Amino acid sequence: MSFIKWHPVLYSINVTEFDEHHKKLVELINVFHKNMMEGKGIDVLDKVFTELKNYTKYHFQAEEKRMQSIGYPDYESHKEEHEKLINSLEELSEKASQGEKFVTIETFKFLKDWLFTHISKVDKKMGDYIIENS
Ligand SMILES: [Fe+2]
Ligand SMILES: [Fe+2]
């Protein structure tokens, strides 16, 4: 069973491009979780985590580009949230490279909470603005 199930009512922001990105993020977190549950080694986990981190960066850049192009008023605070999340992901990578056990329940709780709150609040607000202004 998947760790996070895509839930359209909770997650959809009604902007197809970003909904697809968010689905991919859910999928990557689920792959990461599955590998951990199967007891895969740190090299495998690190590879999946790097993929998740890189995809997150790609996705954030896409959102930021869109917000800028439509003159989104909350651009700065939204971008700041993205930066905080990237920093947290970098910190986790750092711990992993130092051999610390980084794949813990807290890691998953953090990833899941992040998806829930950022997408359903901050991204949703941006999505509403995109719909109203396009
Ligand atoms: Fe966002
Ligand atoms: Fe997003």
Residue by residue, DSSP assigns 67-101 as HHHTT-TTHHHHHHHHHHHHHHHHHHHHHHHTT--
Residue 125 CA: which ligand is closest? 1
Q: Report the alpha-carbon distance of residue 7 to residue 89 in Å, rounded.
A: 24
Q: Which residues surround ligand 2, an ion (CB under 5 A)?
A: 123
Task: Give me the pLDDT at residue 97, please.
Answer: 67
Is pLDDT of 103 > 70?
A: no
Compute the CA torsion angle 99, 56, 76, 19 (nearest 10 deg).
-150
- Gap from CA of 46 to ligand 1 centroid (Å): 24
| Residue 120 DSSP code | I
- Which contacts qualify for 31-34: CB closer than 8 Å, 24 or more apart? 32/103, 32/111, 33/3, 33/4, 33/108, 34/3
Task: Give me the pLDDT at residue 102, please.
Answer: 62
Given 1.20.120.50, 3.40.50.720, 1.10.1200.10, 3.30.230.10, which CATH number is that of 13-132?
1.20.120.50
Domain boundaries, the chain: 13-132
- Gap from CA of 51 to ligand 2 centroid (Å): 16
0.85 surpassed by pTM:
yes
- Gap from CA of 33 to ligand 2 centroid (Å): 20
Is pLDDT of 1 > 80?
A: no
Residues 119-132 have a mean pLDDT of 96
- Gap from CA of 32 to ligand 2 centroid (Å): 19
- Gap from CA of 126 to ligand 1 centroid (Å): 8
Q: Report the alpha-carbon distance of residue 119 to residue 113 in Å, rounded.
A: 10
